[in-house]
Structure 1
Amino acid sequence: MKTILVAAIAAAGVVPSVASAQNFNGPRIEARLGYETPAIAENDSDDIYKIGSAVSYGAEAGYDIRTKRVVVGPYVNYEVSGVKLCDDDICLAERGNFSAGARVGLVAGQRGLVYGKLGYANITLEARDGGSVIDSASKGGIQSALGYEFGLGEFYGFVEAAYSHYGKFDDINLERRQVAGGIGIRF
């Protein structure tokens, strides 16, 4: 009987926090899992060639400032990916993507936030011949994203679609498309 009473008291303490409204204010950190497709396009053509598609994972940290219905704040993000394109023993692979910028959101209901991001992104590509690195290069550009964040008690979940354009990379245009989701916490 004591076990049932303790469990009921614990559940009563948890239920109000799960149902409470989100404050969308202060520092936050999140774990991210996504699916991405970096691609290249020739300058004289509308054809787009995928470097590959793969799962990406990483983390984001940010600080949100909320007015009545608007949330603004900076963010910084780093993700790694398994994207690779091989021809015989020579492979081109993505080794990481860093981004930093600002996000602006609109509070939707008690626990939702619709947001947009705009910032700087930097991708690192690496060429290998067998197991040896032939060359490695980084390229910076602009990243934009649209997403939806939803409260899960003390935590929050999110889904997001992002697009990065890095401009010309050795006379070809380089871009990255990504869909991601994950879970985060505010402090």
Structure 2
Amino acid sequence: MKKLLVAAAALSCVPGIAFAQDEQSAGNLFDGARIEARLGYETPTVSGDGDIYKIGSAVSYGAEIGFDLAVSNKVTVGPFVNYEFSGVELCDGPDCLKVKGNLAAGGRVGVELSPTTALYGKLGYASLTIEASSGAVAASDSKGGVYGALGVEIAVTKNAYINVEGAYADFGDFYGTGFNLQRRQASVGFGFRF
């Protein structure tokens, strides 16, 4: 009889345990590996002498991969890397300056604001590839710098999400001119977690 009571008590706990696990997994929509398509609008600039000069503004598009690990019920941390192609171009006759692409990699910290919404920040390294051309002659180079971003992510299903993000990168001195090179960007993303 004693064994029967113990077995009945143990079985009565199973639904509660299963429910708690379901609640935990449902409440943690921001954890795991992810892949994301990105579409943005960017403005690379140079600044100095108290002025800011636009190289141009254009659409950027690309992708990001990352992994977010839940370190508490509401906080995730993890690495990310993204690459975006750029349409920025500044020409004066046959002489053109083009931004070919942007690479960013670093760490991301997210804080859950609600069961389906999180605020996140990124900090890391950025590399901007620039091509200068004059007629048929062209040369390209990459500048490295510091990258930061803030965004809001919204889970639309258990595995799919959308986000809105603002990013800034500073690449330091623009090839010895005394002007600093920066990149400002606003973007939206659509991704999946696995």
Same fold, TM-score > 0.5, yes or no:
yes
1:41 to 19, 40, 47: 47
Cα drift, residue 24 of structure 1:
1.1
Structure 1 residues without counterparts, runs of 5 or longer:
1-19
Contact 1:126 1:133 in 2 (8 A): no
Query: Which residue pairs with 1:74 in the alignment?
Result: 79
- How high is the TM-score relative to the length of structure 2? 0.82
Cα drift, residue 133 of structure 1:
4.0
The RMSD of aligned alpha carbons is 1.1
Query: Which residue pairs with 1:165 in the alignment?
Result: 170
1:90 aligned partner, one-letter code? D
Q: How does 1:7-156 map to 2 (within 5 A)?
A: 21-42=27-48, 45-66=49-70, 67-130=72-135, 132-153=136-157, 154-156=159-161
Give me the whole-angstrom Cα distance separating, in 2, the residues matched to 1:183 and 1:76: 15
Give me the whole-angstrom Cα distance separating, in 2, the residues matched to 1:133 and 1:21: 56
Question: Is 1:182 matched with 2:182?
Answer: no
2:52 aligned partner, one-letter code? I
| Cα deviation digits, residues 104-140 of structure 1 (max 9, x gap) | 111011101100100000001001123x342211100
1:89 aligned partner, one-letter code? P
Cα drift, residue 41 of structure 1:
1.5
Cα drift, residue 22 of structure 1:
4.9
Larger-gyration structure (1/2): 2
Percent identity (aligned): 54
Give me the whole-angstrom Cα distance separating, in 2, the residues matched to 1:133 and 1:72: 45
Cα drift, residue 71 of structure 1:
0.9
Contact 1:112 1:151 in 2 (8 A): yes
When the two structures are aligned, how many residues end up with a matched partner? 165
